[in-house]
Structure 1
Amino acid sequence: MRRKFIILIMIVSSYSCFEQDKAPFLVQEVTITFSNIPLKEALRKLEQELDGLVFMYSPSSFDSERKINLSFEKTTLEALLERLFKEDDISFLERKNKILLKPKNVGNEEGL
C-alpha cells in the first residue's frame, strides 16, 4: 500500500512539473501557412497546432469570414495575432489555455 502511494506521489509530481514548464501560448513560436481561408478557420488551425489552446471571441468583434492568405515561420503567437488583426482593433488576453480576442475599447474580462 505504501509503495502504491509513493508511486502516485511521483506521478502527480512529474505531471505538475511538466505543466509548470509549459510557456504561455502568446510567446510560443509557430510555423504555419493560411492559404485563402476565413479568419475563423485560421484560428481553428492555430488551436490544432498549439495543443490545448482555445480562442474565445464574439463573432461581432471582427469579420471572421475575412480571407487570410499569410505564411509565418517561427513567429510568436502574439506577433502572428497582431498581423492577423492588423486591420481590426483587437486585443489579446491570455488566461491559462484560453486567449480572449476582444475589441480594445472593451474593459478587461475576469474569470476565464
Structure 2
Amino acid sequence: MKYREIEKSISKLWRLAFFIFILSFGVHSQIYAAEQDGKITLSFSDIPLREALSRIEKVSDYTFFYDEKNVNVNQKVSLDVKDVNMQSLMTALLKDTNLDFEISNRQIVLLSKRSSGSKTAKRHISGVVKDEKGETVIGASVVVEGTTTGTATDIDGKYALDVPVGAKLKITYVGYRPFSVEIEDQTIVDVTLEEDNKVLSEVVVTALGIKREKKMLGYSVQDIKADELN
C-alpha cells in the first residue's frame, strides 16, 4: 500500500516538473520572439522607475543610462503595452513624469524635461577614448572647453560628463592631437586620438648627455637657439 502511494507521489512530481518546464519554455519563447520582431509586451503598475528599467532591460537588448542627480529613479511608474517598439514603450512609461529620453545604438539616456529645448540644457555625455591602434587611452583629459568642468578617462578609457548643449567638449592627452566636438543632440561620443608626430619627435639632451623625449621629462625645459648660446 505504501509503495503505491509513493509511486503516485513520484508520478505527480514528474507531471508538475514537466508542466513548469513547458510553462518556462513558453515564456522564454515569447520574449525571444518579441525581441526578434522588435516588439515588446510588458505590464506592471505603481513600481519604482529603477525596477521598471530593470524589467525592460531583461526583455530587450537595450541598456539605460542616467544621472541620479537629475533623474529620480524612485518615483512610481506604470506601464501596460502590447507588441510595441521601444520608442512607443518609453513614451508610455514616462508620460506622467518630468523625464525625457533619447535612444542611440541600443542605449537609452534619461533626461530631465525641465532643461530640454534650452541652450543652457545639459546632456549627459559618455564614451570611450582610444588611440589609432584601437587601444584605450587611460587618464585622457575630458573638459568642457572654456570652463574648469571636466573629468578623466578610467582604466577602460571610458568617461561620463554633463555638458551644456552648444558647448564644446575637448579631449587631450600628451603626445596626441587635441580633439573637440560641439554637443548638440548626441549623448554618446566615442573618440579616436591621433598621434602628434611633432611632439613625439621632439627630444632634448640632459645635463648627463642622455637624450630624452621632452614630454617625458619631469621638469621644465628652456629652449636656447644656437646664436643665443654663442
Shorter-chain TM-score tier: 0.5 to 0.7
User: 1:90-109 alignment to 2 at 5 Å?
Assistant: 90-94=100-104, 96-103=105-112, 104=116, 105-106=121-122, 107=165, 108-109=186-187
Moved over 4 A (4+): none
Secondary structure of the residue aligned to 1:41 is helix
Is the contact made by 1:39 and 1:67 (CA closer than 8 Å) also made in structure 2? yes
Equivalent of 2:80, from 71, 93, 105? 71
Q: Would you say how many aligned residue pairs link Structure 1 and Structure 2? A: 85
Given the two structures, how large is their TM-score scaled by the length of structure 2?
Answer: 0.33
Judge which range, 28-37 or 96-105, deviates more: 96-105
Q: Any unmatched runs of 5+ in structure 2?
A: 1-34, 123-164, 166-185, 191-230
The residue identity in structure 2 corresponding to 1:41 is E
Is residue 93–residue 101 contact of structure 1 (8 Å, CA) maintained in 2?
no
Q: What secondary structure, in the 3-state scheme, does the structure 2 residue paired with 1:45 have?
A: helix
Partner residue in 2 for 1:44: 54
Judged with a 3 Å threshold, the aligned counterparts in structure 2 of structure 1 residues 91 and 69 are, in CA distance, closer, same or farther, namely: closer
The answer to whether the 8 Å contact 2:39/2:83 transfers is yes
Q: How much identity, in percent, do the aligned residues show?
A: 22
2:99, 2:110 within 8 Å by CA — same for their partners in 1?
Answer: no
Runs of 5+ unmatched residues, structure 1:
1-24
Check 1:53–1:89 CA distance in 2 against 1; reply closer, same or farther (3 A cut). Answer: closer
Over 3 Å counting, the alpha-carbon distance change for 1:89 and 1:45 in structure 2 is: closer
Q: CA RMSD in A?
A: 2.4
Q: Is the 8 A contact 2:48 2:75 kept in 1?
A: yes
**Larger % of helix: which?**
1
Say if 1:61 and 1:85 are closer, same or farther in 2 by CA, change over 3 A. farther
Q: Distance in 2 between matches of 1:60 and 1:102?
A: 11
Partner residue in 1 for 2:38: 28
Shift of 1:89: 4.0
Distance 1:82 1:71 in 2: 12
CA gap 1:89/1:38 in 2 versus in 1, 3 angstroms = closer
Q: Deviations over 1:37-83 (max 9, x none)?
A: 10111111010000x32111111233211112321111221111112
Q: 1:85 to 1:60 in 2, by over 3 A?
A: farther
Q: What secondary structure, in the 3-state scheme, does the structure 2 residue paired with 1:78 have?
A: helix
